[in-house]
Structure 1
């Protein structure tokens, strides 16, 4: 599949992460199913007619190693997250928290909602939840619920700063990984491979590697989304924060943002290269998850370089 890279006012530098991109399978069927699903749940807006192929290509790059069945659910989950993020961006705290209350009511009570008796996001999350139940453990589903809470509350905090102006850098870094739904992405890496035990997931090295991926994910997002946000005077972006902090040009601020992400890439690379000494007990499952983190970091950049989402 060929994707033309979009030309932006400033092309961010390529990230410093010397791992190959995932090899995407043919996504024709995956894209067709995503489009059918999104239209069924009334989650297609006219300006997005239609990026199903791009979403499918992106998830197939990030999760190239999983089965067709699981890739289908991952792709729908990522599309759902993008859709909810778009709807809640600029909304009031009450609006976003109402979304959260409705989501929690559905997943905590295993409610079945259809397009005939619910809103688009309600029928979509109900459909996803019912699909995940036979394929996941109760613990994974508990963490899925927590990911929704942390993500949407992160969006509320992000929106508060849109009224107050650019947040302090430290505060922004603290909440940004949550408002980007990185916890949901980590769950999808487990879902694509194998669920990890609490001991493995809580290992100091694994926590650091996950944190590096999360920081990379949102920082790269910021580097590519700043132009669209600047056009509406949105300062809740690391590029805008760096531009103000260093009194520098947008070009320099974008470079600083990618350099920020590269610091976490360097941390990830060092741990990966020294894994035998640092974690000799790490087995096939641990390494598969780490490879999933690598694929996500590369695939995330691939998506933004190929996407017109922020033009």
Structure 2
């Protein structure tokens, strides 16, 4: 057995926590129970430990209670679905996933009303989330959100095909697909309806802002890969930046961890540098753009605080020496 030193991670951004976090957690518990999303005692224990409302409350610190509950439900649903795809045998069956995810996309495309009895817990829960999202969003936003969910589902199938074929993706392929497998792009789209930040598409689609969104996504996803690499190595999954680096470079796990940490820190530096170059014009629109960037910052620090401080979801802390 070897031991590894997990890198210390820090961010130059403040941490925040939504004032409605406790009410949101109570809501999630009731919502998950009502839809029957937890089917085993192990799943119940993991859910209680996860405290999913804390992730939403850290990522969206200024959201009102109703909106916070919507996004907390959505992220809880994503984690339950993702855990099923990653850890259960279903995650190795691409054809089954294709069929299931086509049904989920049908709910989004056609606003289908589904109950646990007519469509099962996962579909019914998504139907509930989507009904509430539609009530507070524009048609243009819905199309963007549906596109981000389609990208996420496609990436889940890509992972399943790799598992079935015994393929470890190349570094380039993994880095390209990781923003989609993390589903964070859907959460970033949700900034508009959850925090009520309405930016023009011209502003959001500026290359500088898009690169900051990409950096935020990379930071969050690669931090998660660092936190979970030993767990996923034990499970035999290869969809992790550390494990992809180790395979491609035929290096030790520690060397791969060090390189993943370097890549992660480089993205933090890029985010900070680009923030200083934001095209602020002294207009009212600047305030909205700064609010938007503030939520990206909150996602970065919030993901870290939730993963390491609030829940210990991955079972290790930064700076620790752990057995691998």
Could you state the TM-score of these two structures normalised by the residue count of structure 2? 0.87
Report the number of matched residues: 301
Q: Please state how far the C-alpha of 1:24 moved relative to its aligned partner.
A: 4.2
Determine whether 1:133 maps to 2:138.
no
| CA contact 1:27–1:60 (8 Å) conserved in 2 | yes
Pick one of 16, 19, 26 that aligns with 2:13: 19
Which residue of structure 1 aligns with residue 209 of structure 2? 206
Determine whether 1:42 maps to 2:44.
no
Q: Distance in 2 between matches of 1:149 and 1:36?
A: 28
Q: Distance in 1 between matches of 2:5 and 2:288?
A: 37
Q: Distance in 2 between matches of 1:16 and 1:270?
A: 16
Which residue of structure 1 aligns with residue 83 of structure 2? 86
Pick one of 250, 266, 273 that aligns with 1:270: 273
Which residue of structure 1 aligns with residue 320 of structure 2? none
Q: Residues 11 and 290 from structure 1, CA distance in 2 versus in 1: closer, same or farther, beyond 3 angstroms?
A: farther
Which runs of no fewer than 5 residues in structure 1 stay unpaired? 1-8
| Deviation by residue 1:179-205 (Cα, 9 ceiling, x = unmatched) | 111211212222222233211111121
| CA contact 1:220–1:261 (8 Å) conserved in 2 | yes
Determine whether 1:57 maps to 2:54.
yes
Q: Distance in 2 between matches of 1:12 and 1:303?
A: 17
Q: Distance in 2 between matches of 1:114 and 1:156?
A: 25
| CA contact 2:159–2:239 (8 Å) conserved in 1 | yes
Q: Distance in 1 between matches of 2:117 and 2:238?
A: 39
Q: Distance in 1 between matches of 2:170 and 2:111?
A: 40
Q: Distance in 2 between matches of 1:11 and 1:117?
A: 49
Which runs of no fewer than 5 residues in structure 2 stay unpaired? 316-324
How big is the alpha-carbon RMSD for the aligned residues of Structure 1 and Structure 2?
1.9
Q: Distance in 2 between matches of 1:261 and 1:129?
A: 33
Q: Distance in 1 between matches of 2:92 and 2:166?
A: 15
